[in-house]
Structure 1
Amino acid sequence: MSRLTLLAATLLLLASAPARAQSQPLAKRAGKRAVNSSDQNNSNAPFAGRNSLADGQAKSRIEGAGYSNVSGLQRDNEGVWRGKADKAGTKTDVSVDFQGNANPAK
């Protein structure tokens, strides 16, 4: 194989590498984010997983879901933040999963 042919083949391979990296559908790549925005929550149940939220962020997510007086917030062994909070005058168990979903605990 000549040097020119080898060089051309190498350049073609390098040029196609970024295209292969982007070939995964955007929806599939977006679903891998640890924390989605509140309008992208995809579950009413907490997902177990390594939690990237700090306790203050978990508390903010719970408050953003309409709860107040958040207390006893602890991360369990599945990576889900769990605690208690008030909503509509009732104290309830709440949870925040690794995706940022804040829900009544189940």
Structure 2
Amino acid sequence: MVRYLVAASAVALFASAAPAQTQAGSHNPAVKNGAPHSVAAPAKGANSFTEDQARGRFAKAGYKLASKLTKQNGLWQGAATKGGKQLTLMLDYKGNITTR
């Protein structure tokens, strides 16, 4: 009888833990959303994006580059157009896009 109670308790414990891991709406800040974001000011920090990755981020956000990209103070920078407007773009180490 004791074995039956221990086994039933173990099954109940494992069965109740599984749905908690699959609930919608959980937030994991360690997982970065790959979509480009536009922010008011770029984050300060060392940028590990390559030039090709920066070009891809800008293109994914709908910008057409009009100049060569340069990396200054941890930011990828370049001139681009979007919707007929000429802009200066910046990409920070978090993948956020800032325009001027």
TM-score category, normalised to shorter length? 0.5 to 0.7
In structure 2, the CA distance between the partners of 1:103 and 1:42, relative to structure 1 (3 Å rule), is closer
Give the match for residue 68 of structure 1. Answer: 64
Q: Contact 1:62–1:70 (CA<8 Å) still a contact in 2?
A: no
Q: Structure 2 regions of 5+ residues with no counterpart?
A: 1-27
Deviation of the 1:68 alpha carbon: 0.7
What TM-score, normalized by structure 2, do the two folds share?
0.61
Determine the structure 2 residue equivalent to 1:103. Answer: 98
Q: Distance in 2 between matches of 1:38 and 1:44?
A: 17
- CA RMSD between the two structures: 2.4
Identity of aligned residues (%): 34
Contact between 1:44 and 1:101, CA under 8 Å: does it hold in 2? no
**TM-fit CA distance, 1:70:** 4.1
The alignment of Structure 1 onto Structure 2 pairs a total of residues equal to 74
Contiguous gaps of at least 5 residues in structure 1: 1-25
